[in-house]
Chain A
Amino acid sequence: MQPSAPDLETRLREGLPLLFALVLVTIDLTPRPAPAGGGIAPFLTLGAVYFWGVYRPDLMSNAAVFAIGLVYDVLSGLPLGCSSVALLLGRAVMVARHRFFYAKSFVVIWALFVVWAPAVELVRYAFTAASLGVLVDPLPLVAQCGLTIALYPALSWVLVRLHEQVRTRAYAEP
């Protein structure tokens, strides 16, 4: 059966978080003037997965997180699955502790991101290192993580605006 017009719109709006996260993947991997290793750039996708994992895990399902990680690996040339595993584990922690996040101030959420983001990056580093059989200097990843944490408030501001677009149709009706 074909979904009616409002249903279709609702579904499209609910797909916005995933779509926006995929846009963030492409922004993360856009070439910038940098040395051969790619220089330091934020991993904004990580911020998006955290945001939806904290506030609306229903809009960023496990399947969506898996797809985001897979697309990231395909485009970046990393062994497939490394980013997916790390992001899925990260989201699972958010979902398991979702009651804790309810009614917390932004500063607390941001402070937890300072712990969560390096932990997820550490898991990704471990899986990539194991898959490639090589250890590399983790300093660029530390710098990347720091930049991602610094930019999280700005990213949150955008994602809050995006959430308003998702909510309009899906939850405004009585």
Chain B
Amino acid sequence: MTSAAPGFRVVIGLEAHVQLKTRSKMFCACPADYANAEPNTRVCPVCLGMPGVLPVINRRAVDLTILTGLVLDCRIPEHAKFDRKNYAYPDLMKWYQISQYDLPLCVNGHLDVTIDGSADRVRIRRVHLEEDTAKLTHVTASDGAPASLIDVNRSGAPLMEVVTEPDIKTPAQAAAFGEQLRGLLRWIGVSTANMDEGALRIDANVSVWPADHPVGAAKVEIKNMNSFRALSRALAYEIERQTELRRRGGALVQETRGWDEASGTTLVQRTKEEAHDYRYFPEPDLPPLHVTRARVDQLRAQLPRMPDDVAADLTSQGAPSADVAELLHDRALTDYAQAVIQAGADVPAAVTWIVHDLRRVLNARGLAADAIPIPPPELAALLQLRANGSVSSTMAADVLDEMFATGKPAAAIVHARGPQISAADQLLAIARQVIQENPQAVSDYHAGKQRALQYLMGQVMRLTRGKANPGAVSALIEQELGGTG
């Protein structure tokens, strides 16, 4: 189900919670990265909510929120403040959360969501900053009784909330918004935005209305969606449920429902009567935030070029658009590719080679793109050797491996391996040996399968440790096999 049933209108708004990549927590000096920490080891009196302690604003978290607002084309008001949001739950150490109520850091932005080449504008109502809660785990104790464990490590981690206007019309659009938002967040480096780690959590508000009826205030909030697929499925289920309800003449009941992945349904968590009255009021422990023009300008200047601009650049210089799209998923890899191009490498060759060969090595070594040990000019030099035929593709890949392993420059490695073999007499013996040992490939070749030639060439390359001149090998094999192809 991708759009409203005939005669109905679907209204969807999203709230994305994003954990920010800061060194310390939102209001204390505890490390914000608790991913591999033992429970309750990244805590202090402040994030434990002990008596008498006070919050201190993490300036970096404010900056990252403003950066997000800027890429979403938000207005950054000069005056913002923190408020107390009061609710009683055991995962909330102070029984109030420091959040932002009526004066958020960013307002009135938008994100154009593209599906199959056509873009729809989703307005962003606000982006604000708050603190995360502790984590509850419900277990069965040794005596068989239900118990809840509290891990306070997450308490006080900086959490940014992006709230859209109810401009989204389909589950697919909601998922696309989420994916695009995740891409932007990663691109500007404010969050890992990994949904499976809870660094990006998206709640959806959805309501279905008869098309001839004005859209009312009632809506259903859905939580617990841990992937874009879940987001899309939960919305589709809920739209169907509400449409059915409308068909039977039922009224929509405002409530919070949780997505249940196993059953593929949403279940009631909280009804309107159980809704919290958050009793917001200005946080008296923190002075109001004054965001100067100078600070916003300085942050704007720190923003990288956005992916669309980079993509246009690269494709206009001949890079295959599929490879460019692949490259742009990884900001660090893109930065690296641009540095390699800057160092003189051919644009299409650099993009393709980095997306395929370099990434293969990174994956094999378990390295992230921001940990590539090879200076970009060295990679440019290797690509240059490959472009002028000094090394074959196969050998270039080998050389790259060795560059990772030894840190030696490409030229030195190639030199140590000895010169490329172009001499027909040397290659001919090897080519004949390969043909003899691979009868299946030979008959495939005669059957017209081009890939068989590639395979046989590969075998020659293997035996010469990549030093054979590819053009010469190809010509020799075709000559030996009678040149049909």
Q: Are A and B interaction partners?
A: no
Q: Which residues of B contact A (CB under 8 A)?
A: none
Q: Which residues of A contact B (CB under 8 A)?
A: none
